[in-house]
Amino acid sequence: MQVDLSTLTPIQNYALMTQTIIPRPIAWLISENADSSLNLAPFSYFNGLSSSPPMIMVSIGLQPTGEKKDTRVNIEERKHFVVNIAHKEMAEPLTASSATMPTGMSEVEELNLATAPIEGFAVPRLADCRLAYGCELDAIHMINDQAIVFAKLITLYIDDAVADTDAKGRLKINAEAVDALGRLGGGEYVTAGKTITVERPK
C-alpha cells in the first residue's frame, strides 16, 4: 500500500503520522498561567533539536475553537516552562491532562499532582517524574496554524534512582529505570521495556 499524503486532509494526515512516526517522546509540559497557577499538557510532536546550544522543539496546535492553547500563551508571555518525562505509572494522569479545560484552570490542581522545585528555576517540575528540563523560549516559528516552539534547555533534573555511571565514569541514564512513555496512535502508548545494546562503529 502506498498513500499519497497530498490527497488527504490535515486530520487524515495527523492520524497516519501519529500511527507511523512511532514511538514519539512526550513533552509533559508545565507552564505558568497569568495568576501563577500551573498549566499542564502533553505534546508528542517534540524532540531534541541541538546540543550546542542544548535546545528542544515542541509543536503546539490550536484549540478546537481555533484559539491559541493556554500552553502557547503562557510560553509567549512568561518565556519559561518545564518539560517532564512521564513514565508508565503516569499514563492515566498524562492522558487526563490533555482534556480541554477553561482558560486559567490548573490541570496540576485538578489532577492532584504534586510538584517539586527545580533549584534555581522559576517553574516547578512534577514530583513523580524522573526527568525534567527547565526550558527558556528562544523563538516561535509558525507553520500554518502550528506554533513550533524552540527552547533552550537551562537545567535538567535527574532522579538519583535512574542515574548510573558507565565504564569511563561518565553519567549515564538508566533507560529501563526511567521507563519513559512513548506515544503511538490514538490512546496507545509504549513503554521503554527491555533495552538492547549494539556496539557503535569505532
| pLDDT tens per residue across span 127-175 | 999 999 999 999 999 999 999 999 999 999 999 999 998 888 899 999 9
Phi and psi for 26 in degrees, rounded to 5?
Answer: -120, 125
| pLDDT tens per residue across span 3-33 | 999 999 999 999 999 999 999 999 999 999 9
- Global pTM reads 0.93
Q: Residue 193 in 3-state DSSP?
A: coil
**DSSP structure class, residue 199:** P
Q: What is the pLDDT of residue 118?
A: 97
What order do you get walking across the sheet with 24-25 strand by strand? Answer: 24-25, 182-183, 189-190
Phi and psi for 74 in degrees, rounded to 5?
Answer: -65, -40
- Cα angle 68, 72, 75 (rounded to 5 degrees) comes to 150
Per-residue pLDDT, averaged over 54-70, amounts to 94
Q: What is the pLDDT of residue 149?
A: 98
Q: What are the structural domains, with CATH classification, of the chain?
A: 5-190 (2.30.110.10)
Contacts of 61 (CB under 8 A, 6+ apart): 69, 145, 146, 147
Per-residue pLDDT, averaged over 114-132, amounts to 97
- List strand residue ranges (DSSP E) for 23-145, in order: 24-25, 27-32, 38-43, 46-51, 54-60, 80-85, 115-116, 125-126, 131-143
Integer CA distances (angstroms), 19 to 16, 65, 76, in order: 5, 25, 30
Q: How far apart are the first and last CA of the chain?
A: 39
Question: DSSP H helical segments within 55-144, as ranges?
Answer: 70-78, 91-96, 107-110
Higher pLDDT among residues 201 and 80, named by residue: 80
Per-residue pLDDT, averaged over 30-46, amounts to 96
Q: What is the pLDDT of residue 152?
A: 98
Instruction: Give percent of the chain with pLDDT exceeding 90.
Output: 84
Examine the pLDDT at 193 and tell me if it is beyond 80.
Answer: no
